[in-house]
C-alpha cells in the first residue's frame, strides 16, 4: 500500500501529511476529532484511541502507521501493530509519555536530568520537597505540554495548593535548573539503526510555551551539542527508536541537563521545512516507511522560527508581504490565548 496512517489530527499530523504527499503517499488520519491534519489528508476516521477494533481496521489499509503525539495509550500501538508496522515502537511511546520513565532512562544512559523525585502521594510530595528544596516544579508524570500540568513552588508551604492544582495525580518534583540557554536535539533514526541529527536549535520560551527556535545556536549551546547528541543517540538506540526523537536540554555551566523527550516531530524543528535540506517531517516519514534518510544540513547561513500564538496569527497579512518570510497557518478555526495557530520561518541565505 501507499498509505501512511497517522494517529492524531493536529498541526504536527498536518505537516507530516504534507511531507508524505510530496513523496507520493496518501495519508489516513485517525483521531477522536477532526483537526488541522484532516484538511490535507486523503481519509479521516473518527475514533477513540482505546477502540482496538476500529484501530485495527484503520491500520489494515496502511503501509505503516505513526503518531503525532505521545498521549495515547500503548494499547493503541498494540492494536495497530497487529495489522501494520508502527513507528516509533511501544518502548519509545511508553518511555517518552512518562516523565519519571524518561528521566530514569536518561540517567541509565549517562545523562543528567534536574534533581528529581517521583511523587505519587501527598506525603511523598513533602518528602520530595525536603530532599530537593525550593524553588521547585511539580509536573504531572503524563499528559503535560506547553507548560500545562505544572506548578512552581517557591516554598514548602505551597505544597498543599500545588498538590490540589495537579489534582493529586502521579507527578515528578524537579529542582529549578539555572540555565543560560535551552536547546533541543532533533535526531532521526532509521530502521537500519543509523541516526542523524539536525544542527541543534536554540529555544526561547514565553509563559512556558515555545516562542522561537533558531539555528545555528550560540556558542554556549554549540559547545554542549556533541554530548547532548551522544545522549540522544544512546536513548534512541536503547529504545530501538525509529523516526524522529526530540530531546530538550538546558545548557548550564556544568554541561547539558536533560529536560524531556518526545518520540515525534517537534515544534523546535519547524524551521527545518525551509531551513534544512530535508525537513524533520520528511525524515520522520522516510524513517517510518523504511526509506533512506535525507541530509539534515542547513540550506542557508541561519534560520529562525517564530510561533504565532493566539491572536498573533492575525499578523499573517504583514508576514505575507515580508520578503523571505515563510508563513505557515494551521487552519485552526478559533484563536485562544496560548494556542499555537501557526509559525513563520526566516532563512538567511
341 is in an annotated binding site: no
Nearer to Mg ion, 85 or 243 (CB): 243
Are the beta carbons of 303 and 336 closer than 8 angstroms?
Answer: no
Which of the choices ligand ATP, Mg ion, none does residue 216 contact, using the CB cut-off of 5 to 8 A by kind?
Answer: none
182 binds, among Mg ion, ligand ATP, none (CB under 5 to 8 A by kind): ligand ATP
Please report whether residue 206 would count as binding ligand ATP according to CB under 6 A: no
How are beta strands 26-31 and 3-7 bridged, if at all? parallel
Q: Binding pattern to ligand ATP, positions 276-315, x when CB under 6 A?
A: ----------------------------------------
Site for Mg ion in 90-109 (CB under 5 A): none
Q: Binder to ligand ATP among 46, 50, 122, 205 (CB under 6 A)?
A: 205
CB of residue 316 vs Mg ion: minimum separation in angstroms? Answer: 26
Q: Footprint of ligand ATP on residues 212-271 (CB under 6 A)? A: 248, 259-260
Size of the site for ligand ATP (CB under 6 A): 17
HSE value, Cβ hemisphere, 13 Å, CA-based, for 344 = 18
Task: List the interface residues with Mg ion, window 193-252 (CB under 5 A).
Answer: 248
Show the DSSP H helices in the chain as ranges: 11-22, 52-60, 74-81, 90-96, 99-108, 122-132, 159-165, 219-239, 272-275, 280-288, 316-321
| 3-state SS assignment for residue 276 | strand
Kindly tell me which of 85 and 158 has the beta carbon lying closer to ligand ATP.
158
Task: Please name the helix (run of DSSP H) or strand (run of DSSP E) that holds residue 205, with its range, or none.
Answer: strand 202-206
> Cis peptide before 264, with omega less than 30 degrees from 0?
no
208 lies in the site for ligand ATP, by CB under 6 A: yes
According to DSSP, the residues that pair with 308 across neighbouring strands are: 342
DSSP 8-state assignment for residue 32:
S
The residue at minimum Cβ distance from ligand ATP is 177
Tell me which residue of 45, 24, 86 sits closest to 263, measured CA to CA: 86
Indicate the residue among 139 and 189 with the shorter CB distance to Mg ion.
139
Q: Which residue number, 27 or 186, has a Cβ lying nearer to ligand ATP? A: 186
- Judge whether 259 is annotated as a binding position: yes
- Selected binder of ligand ATP within 68, 174, 282, 306 (CB under 6 A): 174
Number of residues that bind Mg ion (CB under 5 A): 2
The nearer residue to ligand ATP, 83 or 101, going by C-beta atoms, is: 101
CA gap 39, 209 in Å, rounded: 25
Among 41, 81, 106, 114, binds ligand ATP (CB under 6 A): 114
Q: Output the CA–CA distances (angstroms, integers) from residue 107 to 110, 112, 235, 327, in the order listed.
A: 5, 6, 10, 39
267, 147 in Cβ contact below 8 A? no
Mask for 136-165, x = binds ligand ATP (CB under 6 A): -x-x----xxxxx-----------------
Query: Is 177 one of the annotated binding-site residues?
Result: yes
* CA pair distance 339, 12, nearest whole angstrom: 14
Residue (of 289, 288, 335) closest to 310 by Cα position: 335
Residue 35 known to bind ligand = no
Grid cell 477494533 in the structure block, residue: 53
Interacting partner of 274 out of ligand ATP, Mg ion, none (Cβ under 5 to 8 A depending on kind)? none
Q: Which residues of this chain interact with ligand ATP, rule CB under 6 A?
A: 114, 137, 139, 144-148, 174, 176-177, 182, 205, 208, 248, 259-260
Amino acid at each position: 500500500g501507499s498509505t501512511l496512517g497517522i494517529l492524531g489530527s493536529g498541526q504536527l499530523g498536518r505537516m507530516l501529511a504534507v511531507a508524505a504527499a510530496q513523496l507520493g503517499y496518501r495519508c489516513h488520519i485517525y483521531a477522536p476529532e477532526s483537526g488541522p491534519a484532516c484538511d490535507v489528508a486523503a481519509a479521516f476516521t473518527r475514533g477513540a484511541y482505546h477502540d482496538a477494533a476500529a484501530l485495527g481496521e484503520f491500520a489494515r489499509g496502511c503501509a505503516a502507521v505513526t503518531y503525532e503525539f505521545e498521549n495515547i495509550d500503548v494499547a493503541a500501538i498494540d492494536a495497530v501493530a497487529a495489522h501494520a508496522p508502527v513507528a516509533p515502537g511501544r518502548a519509545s511511546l511508553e518511555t517518552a509519555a512518562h516523565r519519571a520513565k524518561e528521566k530514569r532512562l536518561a540517567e541509565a544512559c549517562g545523562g543528567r536530568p534536574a534533581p528529581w523525585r517521583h511523587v505519587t502521594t501527598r506525603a511523598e510530595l513533602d518528602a520530595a520537597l525536603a530532599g530537593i528544596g525550593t524553588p521547585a516544579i511539580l509536573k504531572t508524570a503524563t499528559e503535560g505540554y506547553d507548560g500545562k500540568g505544572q506548578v512552581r513552588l517557591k516554598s514548602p508551604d505551597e505544597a498543599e495548593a500545588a498538590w490540589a492544582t495537579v489534582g493529586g495525580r502521579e507527578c515528578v518534583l524537579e529542582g529549578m535548573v539555572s540555565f543560560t540557554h535551552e536547546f533541543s536535539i532533533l535526531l532521526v533514526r532509521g530502521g537500519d539503526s543509523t541516526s542523524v541529527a539536525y544542527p541543534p536549535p536554540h529555544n526561547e520560551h514565553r509563559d512556558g510555551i515555545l516562542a522561537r527556535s533558531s539555528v545555528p545556536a550560540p556558542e554556549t549551546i554549540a559547545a554542549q551539542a556533541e554530548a547532548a547528541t551522544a545522549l540522544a543517540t544512546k536513548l534512541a538506540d536503547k529504545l530501538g527508536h525509529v523516526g524522529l526523537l526530540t530531546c530538550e536540554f538546558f545548557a548550564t555551566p556544568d554541561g547539558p541537563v536533560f529536560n524531556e523527550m518526545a518520540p515525534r516531530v517537534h515544534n523546535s524543528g519547524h524551521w527545518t521545512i525551509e531551513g534544512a535540506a530535508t525537513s524533520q517531517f520528511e525524515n520522520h516519514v522516510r524513517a517510518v516507511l523504511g526509506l533512506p534518510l535525507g541530509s539534515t544540513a542547513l540550506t542557508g547561513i541561519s534560520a529562525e522560527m517564530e510561533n504565532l500564538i493566539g491572536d498573533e496569527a492575525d499578523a499573517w497579512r504583514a508576514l505575507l508581504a515580508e520578503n523571505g518570510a515563510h508563513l505557515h497557518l494551521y487552519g485552526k478555526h478559533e484563536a485562544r490565548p496560548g494556542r499555537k495557530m501557526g509559525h513563520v520561518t526566516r532563512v538567511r541565505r
